Amino acid sequence: MIDHAARAKTFVEDEVRLHWHDKAVWFVRQKRDLARAVLPEWEELRTLASQIKAHTLSRLADYLEEFEKKALAAGAQVHWARDADEHNLIVHGLLQARGVTRLVKSKSMLTEDCGLNPYLEARGIEVVDTDLGERIVQFRHEPPSHIVMPAIHLRKEEIGVLFHERLGTPVGLADPRALTEAARQHLRAKFLGAQAGLTGVNFAIASTGGVVVCTNEGNADLGTALPPLHIACMGVEKLVPGPRELGVFLRLLARSATGQAITTYTSHYHGPRPGAELHIVIVDHGRSGILARKEFRRALQCIRCGACLNTCPVYRHSGGHSYGVAVAGPIGSVLAPHLDAKKNAGLPFASTLCGSCTDVCPVRIDLHHQLLLWRGELAARGLVPLGKRFVSRVGRWVLLRTWAYRLFGKLARIFAPLLPRSGWTRQRELPPMPRESFRAQWRNRAGPR
Amino acid sequence: MPARDDILRALRAAEVPPLPRPDLSAVAGIRYDDLRERFAKSVVEAGGRCAVVLQGSVASALLQIPEYAAATKIASLVPGIGNLDLTAVKDPHELAEVDFCVLPAELGVAENGACWITDHGRANRAVCFLAQHLAIVVQASSLVHNLHEAYARLELPARGFSMWLSGPSKTADIEQSLVIGAHGARSCTVLVTS
Ligand code: SF4
């Protein structure tokens, strides 16, 4: 089982880095707040977006059929994959049949989830992640720590050292501009030499058969405009009914993600360019299972904006790698147990249940509620560690009895400061304990009632 | 059973109760008093530059752009400009050395500074991304307030490529510092013509 607190240990021990990370991520949340503040219709948009997704999910199979029909008519080819293995097999098959050994890739959490890169690399294909942040973590042989900002956990000096080793930049160079320029030159050559480009999909338009990809760097566009083969991989839940609905999501996505009004490039692909091929791979990989679960299906509305990560106090103070799954943060903790409840049973507990994620989510997913639901379900399925179960049992017993509650309050005021600290509390100072209980303070308070 | 049917069957078996499709025709979205001013501001916020061409030609306005004046290889989808014959390009890789590219836009959106660019099914859209610098030409009468209005007006091509383009290519992947010129254009100037 993934023990989030244990995995976060090293991250939490470096206090300077921890506070820097917290601030860097919170800064993005603040930019989102500014972008939201200038749109009077923001809350209405969130409601609309949520309703559109709920509607689409309520007849997803129909929309997928419509999408497939239109995509084929536009000249694309459509493939279906039940799970990660089928997905990887299809992608590899397409590449192998065309003798591709050099692939450029733009960001796709789906392929990350499916483990596509190692799968292809093991079969002799060079896979180059072209998003700057993704290239950085790929050089380091580690997964992205954030779904929108993959290298948010790294300092520029570390990237400088890395680029010196990998790209031959001068020793000590840590200026983001100069480092980005070095990456630009390096990746230009990769784009020009690639035999195929693979992208994720932000939205798929049912009524037109188009797929939409959003980036700021332009890497998806370069990767698909040069080589003769474009593979676009999407989860079944990426559908929107039509272009007008797409407009609603585009207004929300970048504002929620980085505080921009829109991403630099929002590319609509309808079929391949002349003389090239476009293959769309539609993947289930557990999604139909989530759809079947009434209390959890809203999680499929997610547009992967990352806002719930940026606002989450636990994410900000533990870093994305502590989650041990491709998608970190609140949405990751809600989705991961569906795929493997046993392995990911710890994740729904990596939350304070403060509800901030639910407040910022542009498609109004009830994230903190789902985290709580998971806790109950995991406990009922016996997947919660004994210690945690014991503490919850005691807690429940105490909270149901007034006398026990009072007694435990008194004991806690005396003994809590003496208890050893572990898990998240390891680096924490306890506030001084009050001498009297709240009840006593209330009874003795001065002034009129 | 093939994967396709299996997936569709599983999705139908989830038996999600039908929910209505929200009516978007009533959604107006934000509107601005001065469309052109707001559009220009949004372009700047997206890292671009915006100039209004009141009199004179686009060609002379382009010469005011330092990157254009310094460019040797200029591609253009606006007729009468540039020194590269895009129709003669067989392989997009030939466009790797393009210094400047001029693109016509069908719409400009005030709320975000994005311009609607389509390739009309041509093979060489790579030039939009390979060029070191960009200029976009959009008519003042083609400015709309927001994306709702834009998509209500737009006709998505049944086949081909189209995009919203706002400002130059950028990244903030290193310590959240904004750097202009990630993989695509290093600068983007929008010319609004009347
Ligand atoms: S759950 Fe909501 S806030 Fe989190 S990434 Fe998805 S859409 Fe964004």
Could you tell me the domains of chain A?
Answer: 1-28+306-400 (no CATH), 39-154+195-288 (3.40.50.10420), 402-446 (no CATH)
What ranges in A140-218 are assigned the alpha helix state H? Answer: 156-167, 176-193
CB contact under 8 A, A222 and B157: no
Query: How many CB atoms are located within 10 Å of the residue B50 CB?
Result: 23
The confidence score (pLDDT) of residue A449 equals 56
Distance CA A179, CA A10 (A): 27
Token code pair at residue B144? 């709309």
Do residue A251 and residue B29 have CB atoms under 8 angstroms apart? Answer: yes
So what's the pLDDT on residue B51? 93
From chain A, the residues in CB contact with B154 under 8 A are 243
Residue A269 pLDDT: 97
Minimal Cβ distance to A81: which of B3, B27, B170: B3
Q: Are strands B107-109 and B170-171 parallel, antiparallel or unpaired?
A: unpaired
pLDDT at A3: 86
Token look-up 């990370």 returns A21
> Nearest to residue A54, comparing CAs of A273, A221, A271, A297?
A297
- Is there a contact between B163 and A221 if contact means CB atoms under 8 Å apart? yes
Distance between CA atoms of A203 and A268, rounded to whole angstroms? 9
> pTM of whole model > 0.80?
yes
In the beta sheet, which residues pair with residue B137?
A: B104, B191
Residues 158-187 of B with CB under 8 A from A: 158-177, 179, 181-185
Q: CA-to-CA distance for B109 and B105, rounded, in angstroms?
A: 11
The pLDDT value given to residue A423: 65
pLDDT of the residue at A257 = 97
Say yes or no for a CB contact (<8 Å) between B179 and A263: no
pLDDT given for residue A1 in this prediction: 77
Q: Can you give the pLDDT at residue A420?
A: 80
Look at residue A6 in the predicted model and tell me its pLDDT. 85
A46: which 2 tokens?
């969130």
Pocket-testing residue among A147, A256, A335, A366, ligand 1, by greatest number of atoms within 8 A of Cβ: A256
Give per-residue pLDDT as tens, B66-122. Answer: 999 999 999 999 999 999 988 888 899 999 999 999 999 999 999 999 999 998 777
Structural domains in chain B plus CATH codes:
28-193 (3.40.50.10420)
Residue A97 CA to residue A240 CA, distance in Å, equals 32
pLDDT value of position A448:
58
Name the residue facing B7 among A44, A236, A297 (closest C-beta).
A236
What pLDDT was estimated at residue A447?
62
Q: Which residues of chain A have pLDDT under 50?
A: none
The Cα B178–Cα A347 span in angstroms is: 32
* Spatial separation of the C-alpha atoms in residues B194 and B185, rounded to whole Å: 25
Task: State the distance from the centre of ligand 1 to the C-alpha of A437, rounded, in angstroms.
Answer: 40
What does each C-alpha distance from A329 to A131, A180, A255, A312, A432 come to in angstroms? 21, 27, 19, 7, 31
Give the mutation target among A28, A301, A331, A368 for probing the ligand 1 site: most ligand atoms within 8 A of CB: A331
Look up residue B77 and give its amino acid.
Answer: L
**Res A112: pLDDT:** 95
Write the pLDDT tens digit of every residue in B7-50: 999 999 999 999 999 999 888 899 999 999 999 999 999 999 99
